[in-house]
Amino acid sequence: MNDDKLFRDRLYNMEATYPDDMWNRISGQLPKKKRRGGWWLLLAFLLLGVVSGVFLPISNQAESTENYEEKLPSNSSASGDDIIVQSTPVEEGIDLNQEIAPTPSENKTAFIPGDINPENSGSYESYSEAPVITSSSSTDTENNIDVFTSEHDITPEIKVAKEVNNELENVTSPRALVSAPGVMDPRQLFIDDVYPDFIPPECPTFGFNREPGIFFDLLYSHDMPSRTLEMKSQELSDYIDSRNNTESTLYSFSSSLRIAYISRSGLGLKTGFNYSQINEKFEYLDPDASLIRTIITIDTLILGGVPTVVKDTSTIRIPGSLDITSYNRYRFFDIPILATYEAPLNDKFYYSFNGGVLINVAFSQKGRFLDPAEMPVWFTSSDPEGYDAFKNSAGLSFFGSLGLHYKLNDHIDIILEPNFRFYAGSLTSEPYPLEQRWLTLGLSHGIRYKF
């Protein structure tokens, strides 16, 4: 029989009791973390709100203006290297530090330390020797166990030691547990000699520990869009230049309400509702425009003593310049399907990775641009007479973000989340000669509530 297997079978799943106040004494010796106030973070969110209010000119601007000007001449944790077994209370009068000279047959000894804490002398925190097991005489070992149990109550450790001793009697050449001549320090235990395959227990974790649950996130994102135009025909390169020269992107935004389930491991799913608006400015100047005016002249003539009304209609062409300014808006209503992973940074901050798709359920447009003949036209989706250039649905778009969360209390967190969104498919209809796509970069901030 292998003595390693014997100890593994007998002692591997063994449990020992420990004092109720052990955790309090361990946590009391841990270094205290300084908690910094979150006032600076709150101030940053307020500043973002003020800045977003300053850069929202769209609501105060006219949707479209058209001016014609005539041309005039004047124009730590605890280590897992020690096995701690709590001893029973020691009777008064017993000297635990007394040295016992070993006999020739007791030159190999093992000790199991107890809970030693010299600062708390009032509690029974002493150590006790384990039953002495020798490699040359099992009879002496049995006697030592009997003497030990006659002075103290029989503990589970002693029962296991007796069973191990009985098994060792059948071992032909038992292996020495610890080689140490003389008296050993009872606080030492060489685990590698007793059980080479010993796996220390996992140390307890401290700090952030969030239970799984359901969360509601309310976010507002400051977005900066970037547009790309690709031609379906090589003959339209000039048309792309004309559109790029007359259209420019403006401050855009998104808002979302998400419901999320986060598991204990930090993995989770998010869904909800998302609204996005991309804003553009269309500016067009035609220096050679002409204004056609109709002039109606009404005269009263007396013919044969009878008054007669004579009406004369004429048209004239007035040369000038045409200046058009229009604020275009693209609106998206989407349902996000996102996977997320969250992990702590410390007891107040944690981060998250989010990625997935946004499924568009409604897409609308309003504004003006140049048609392929380079004439300004309206493309408003609700106008039956508008130019048909865009699809009714934007399809799928890809979304990703990296979030930083600050824990205000057990229910409310503050979120700061840089993000991107890419519209993979073209938003224009099949007959329109150009393909139009968007990429938006944004910075979201908001709050999270845990139920």
Are 235 and 362 part of one and the same domain?
A: yes
Are 365 and 433 part of one and the same domain?
A: yes
Closest CA to 330 of 284, 370, 282: 282
Instruction: Average the pLDDT over 310-333 and give the result.
Output: 86
Are 192 and 212 part of one and the same domain?
A: no
Name which residue leads in pLDDT, 292 or 279.
Answer: 279
Whether the predicted pLDDT of 403 surpasses 70: yes
Instruction: Average the pLDDT over 289-311 and give the result.
Output: 78
Distance CA 353, CA 402 (A): 5
Whether the predicted pLDDT of 294 surpasses 90: no
pLDDT given at position 150: 47
Task: Tell me whether residue 318 is in a domain.
Answer: no
HSE of 193, CA atoms in CB hemisphere, 13 A: 14
Whether the predicted pLDDT of 209 surpasses 70: no
pLDDT band at 132 (very low <50, low <70, confident <90, very high): very low
For the chain, give the percent of residues with pLDDT over 90: 40
Distance CA 133, CA 418 (A): 65
Are 347 and 225 part of one and the same domain?
A: yes
* Residue 352 near residue 342, CB atoms below 8 Å: yes
Which residues make Cβ contacts (< 8 Å) with residue 270, sequence separation at least 6? 217, 258, 259, 260, 336, 337, 338, 339, 340, 354, 356
Name which residue leads in pLDDT, 183 or 332.
Answer: 332
pLDDT given at position 43: 61
From 200, 221, 248, give the residue that closes a domain. 200
Whether the predicted pLDDT of 376 surpasses 80: yes
pLDDT given at position 366: 95
pLDDT given at position 254: 97
Domain count, the chain: 2
| Residue 268, token pair as written in the block | 């989770």
From 185, 200, 215, give the residue that closes a domain. 200
Name which residue leads in pLDDT, 359 or 69.
Answer: 359
pLDDT given at position 23: 72
Whether the predicted pLDDT of 184 surpasses 60: no
Phi-psi region at 395: left, alpha or beta (left = phi > 0; alpha = psi -120 to 50): left
Task: Tell me whether residue 160 is in a domain.
Answer: yes
Indicate the range of 210-224, 229-243, 267-281 predicted with least confidence. 229-243
Whether the predicted pLDDT of 37 surpasses 80: no
Name which residue leads in pLDDT, 393 or 287.
Answer: 393
Closest CA to 151 of 129, 118, 170, 172: 129
For the chain, give the percent of residues with pLDDT over 70: 57
pLDDT in tens, 435-448: 999 999 999 999 99
Are 184 and 238 part of one and the same domain?
A: no
With vertex at residue 227, the alpha carbon angle to CA 245 and CA 326, rounded to the nearest 5 degrees, is 50
Indicate the range of 121-130, 282-291, 305-314, 381-390 predicted with least confidence. 121-130
Task: Tell me whether residue 300 is in a domain.
Answer: no
pLDDT given at position 237: 79
Task: Tell me whether residue 164 is in a domain.
Answer: yes
pLDDT given at position 46: 58
CATH number reported for the structural domain that contains residue 401 in this entry: 2.40.160.20
Instruction: Average the pLDDT over 403-425 and give the result.
Output: 95
Task: Tell me whether residue 111 is in a domain.
Answer: yes
pLDDT given at position 292: 78
From 178, 200, 222, give the residue that closes a domain. 200
Task: Tell me whether residue 350 is in a domain.
Answer: yes
Are 125 and 237 part of one and the same domain?
A: no
pLDDT given at position 393: 93
Instruction: Average the pLDDT over 18-32 and give the result.
Output: 70
Whether the predicted pLDDT of 391 surpasses 90: yes
pLDDT given at position 136: 42
Name which residue leads in pLDDT, 247 or 29.
Answer: 247
Are 191 and 252 part of one and the same domain?
A: no
Distance CA 394, CA 410 (A): 39
HSE of 236, CA atoms in CB hemisphere, 13 A: 18
Q: Domain limits at 443?
A: 55-62+207-283+326-450
Computed over its alpha carbons, how large is the radius of gyration of the chain?
42
pLDDT given at position 153: 54
pLDDT given at position 365: 96
* Residue 229 near residue 244, CB atoms below 8 Å: yes
Are 338 and 421 part of one and the same domain?
A: yes
Whether the predicted pLDDT of 364 surpasses 70: yes
Q: How many CB atoms lie within 10 A of CB 91?
A: 8
pLDDT in tens, 254-288: 999 999 999 999 999 999 999 999 999 999 988 77
HSE of 255, CA atoms in CB hemisphere, 13 A: 2
Are 217 and 330 part of one and the same domain?
A: yes
Chain-wide mean pLDDT for the chain?
Answer: 74
Task: Tell me whether residue 245 is in a domain.
Answer: yes
Closest CA to 58 of 364, 366, 270, 409: 366
Token match 């031609």: residue? 231
pLDDT given at position 91: 46
Type of residue found at 373 = A
Task: Tell me whether residue 255 is in a domain.
Answer: yes
Are 416 and 336 part of one and the same domain?
A: yes
Are 220 and 155 part of one and the same domain?
A: no
Are 251 and 398 part of one and the same domain?
A: yes
pLDDT band at 236 (very low <50, low <70, confident <90, very high): confident
Whether the predicted pLDDT of 143 surpasses 90: no
* Residue 257 near residue 216, CB atoms below 8 Å: yes
Q: Which residues of 407-438 are buried (b: 16+ CB within 10 A; e: fewer)?
A: beeeeebbbbbebebebeebbbeeebebebbb
pLDDT in tens, 95-111: 444 444 444 444 444 44
* Residue 158 near residue 146, CB atoms below 8 Å: no
